Structure 1
Amino acid sequence: MKQEEYHMPSRRSFLTGSVATSVALSMQSTTATLAQPKRVIVDSQVHLWPASTPERPWLPGAKPQLPEPFTIERIIPLMDEAGVDRVVIVPPASVEGERVDYAQEAVKRYAGRFAIMARVALNKPDGAARLATWRDQPGVLGVRLNFGPDEAAWLTDGTADWFWPAAEKAHLPVMLLTSGQTSLFARIAERHPALTLILDHMGVGAGLRPRRDSSVSMRNDMVAEAIAQTAALAKYPNVSVKLSSVPLISTESYPFRDAIPHIHRLFDVYGPERCYWGTDLTNSFARATYRQRVTQFTEELPFLTESDKDWIMGRAILARLRWT
């Protein structure tokens, strides 16, 4: 039997094969990179309002969060610079009342970039009929309720009782802002398991945010108690939370490290699919740039995986609000 001959590969054939392999691996890597979809970044809360004019005046006694109107023309370049794709507009009740026409202008001018959580008057039970067609309004995805000092009693005196079953029946997501009353939503979440409840600003309402003249221990206690109430509601699948307004909760400068344990605690109990990044930009405008508010979550929270960030930075709020 003739012995099979063995030929040593030439330098040319070796280099040719190496180059071909390198090119193939490079193409595979490029293909894999191209296959990864861009992370969609959605701010779960921004207030927009135009200037007060005789034709369209602000509410009497209005006190906007900034001295100048925060308009569509101001937010768009900020979004583009920060890499924010979409924004949920929450019309400021103290300025706009129940009006949504300016927010709808943003929806019309920049298709796909804006949606609206509109306000409903809880002390007007005849609004129940409106909720059935609430999402038929251009850009409106749900309701935002603010239980401030004037409305706090509505949670316990029966004024708001009509709203919860009506919103549940209409499949309307509801965003909520309270001060020290978060625990009251346990009963509502349990009685209405199909009602989507979203707690704003980690459950730390304006009345609980630490003042600069407060002692460090007092500030920490106020925030910790609010966070504890919010964490306790995580056992209800229909409750979720906006990890928003971080600069106002923190007493430090960017990256607001004293707020990170609170973010971590809520992330641990709610998980990435029930946590939403947001800014409430105008309420702490001077404390951080829009880009820094993004990078705090994408670069400063080592306990988040890239998949977690995909959910928290946009995917989760789009799913919860059914924003396509």
Structure 2
Amino acid sequence: MLIVDSQVHIWINTKMREIHRQVPTYSAEDLLAEMETAGVDRVLLHPPGTVPNGNEVAIAAANRYPDKFKVLGWLHLDRKEESAAKLAGWTNTPGMLGQRYIFIVPGRENWMTDGTMDHMWGVANEQKMPVGLLAHDFLPKVGKIAEKFPEVPLLIDHLGSNLFKPGVESFETLPELVALAKHPNVAVKMSGANGNSASPYPHTDIHESLERIFDAFGPDRCFWGTDLSRMPCSYKECVTLFTEELYWLKGRDLELVMGEALCNWIGWDLPD
């Protein structure tokens, strides 16, 4: 079974936000070593939204290890002329498959609603470019974007959950997330699930929420992942939570959720 992580950060000589590992460097090679211990075959790298050279670090990793890494990068969309010039050829960069944005960075809180991102959506729609969003606070807005730009494959980060609340409380917007399943161009990264739980492994307090999301979106639009640097457990436990502990996730559905569906969604060729 191909196992592909839908989100991990790497960084070089940088201080990450407190919710992440407090180490100055977490390199591609560090990640590869952990992937080996957990049986993870591929990772979709997400340059940290707070790191100025994050795109460059991730692309360099994808170039060194093209069978292991691809990238969803980000642009300073508030610099309209600069970002517009880069957008046209964004995915021509080897290893770059699309974009991903967060809105918890000072100055970006209103990007989803204040027009900052408007010029990007048309280009992404024309190119059918995947776009990931940390959109817990903007889920209804995502529905409007999905309708207006139906050719954009959208990825909702971290189960559409609140990263700063424990257990079932983190799924306070679950009804809003499930409502997005009617849009065929919206998918969910089931990333960071272990970190949502307020109970020890196997985190039974979140199983029902995971099942509700899976039932709504199906195996072709649910993508396992971790956000590894934020996880309170081993990489292996992030894998086995899905491969061993969810009674309703078996067979072909499991194969899709653990990697194949993500690759199909973002245009990452499956191995021969």
With the length of structure 1 as denominator, give the TM-score of the two structures.
0.78
Match of 1:54 in 2: none
CA distance in 1, matches of 2:77, 2:136: 17
Q: Is the 8 A contact 1:198 1:242 kept in 2?
A: yes
1:84 aligns with 2:40: yes
Greater share of residues in helix? 1
Q: What displacement does 1:266 show?
A: 0.5
Instruction: Measure, in 2, the Cα distance between the counterparts of 1:73 and 1:196.
Output: 30
Aligned residues: 265
Distance in 2 between the 1:295 and 1:194 partners?
Answer: 33
Is 1:292 the counterpart of 2:246 in the alignment?
no
Structure 1 residue 164 displacement after superposition: 1.3
| Divergent runs of 4+, >3 A | 61-64
Q: How does 1:240-255 map to 2 (within 5 A)?
A: 240-255=187-202
Residue aligning to 1:238: 185
Q: Deviations over 1:271-300 (max 9, x none)?
A: 00000000000012xx21111111110110
Q: Do the aligned partners of 2:16 and 2:22 also contact (CA within 8 Å) in 1?
A: no
Instruction: Work out the CA distance in 1 between the residues paired with 2:136 and 2:221.
Output: 21
Give the structure 1 partner of residue 17 of structure 2: 63
**Aligned positions of 1:60-209 closer than 5 A:** 63=17, 65-68=20-23, 69-94=25-50, 96-97=51-52, 99-126=54-81, 127-148=83-104, 150=106, 151-206=108-163, 209=164
Q: Is the 8 A contact 2:135 2:142 kept in 1?
A: no
Q: Structure 1: which amino acid aligns with 2:233? A: A
* Distance in 1 of aligned mates of 2:17 and 2:44: 21
The one-letter amino acid of 1:87's match is V
Bigger-Rg structure (1/2): 1
Q: Is the CA contact 1:44–1:242 (under 8 Å) kept in the aligned structure 2?
A: yes
TM-score, length of structure 2 as denominator length:
0.92
> Tell me, which stretches of 5 or more residues in structure 1 are unaligned?
1-38, 52-57, 212-218
User: What CA distance in whole angstroms lies between the structure 2 residues aligned with 1:134 and 1:149?
Assistant: 23
Question: Which has the larger displacement, 312-321 or 253-262?
Answer: 253-262
Secondary structure class of the residue paired with 2:72 = strand
- Matched to 2:132, the amino acid is M
**Deviation at 1:180?**
2.0
Q: Distance in 2 between matches of 1:121 and 1:306?
A: 41
Structure 1 residues 289 and 272: alpha-carbon distance in aligned structure 2, compared to 1, 3 A threshold:
same
Among 247, 252, 263, the residue aligned to 1:302: 247
Task: Name the structure 2 match of 1:319.
Answer: 264
Q: Partner residue of 1:19?
A: none
DSSP-derived class of the 1:187 partner? helix
- Work out which structure has the larger RCO, using CA pairs closer than 8 Å and 6 or more positions apart in sequence: 2
CA RMSD of aligned residues (A): 1.7
> How many Å separate the matches in 1 of 2:153 and 2:53?
21
Equivalent-residue separation in structure 2 for 1:148 and 1:63 (angstroms): 11
Q: Percent identity?
A: 36
Q: Is the 8 A contact 1:78 1:290 kept in 2?
A: yes
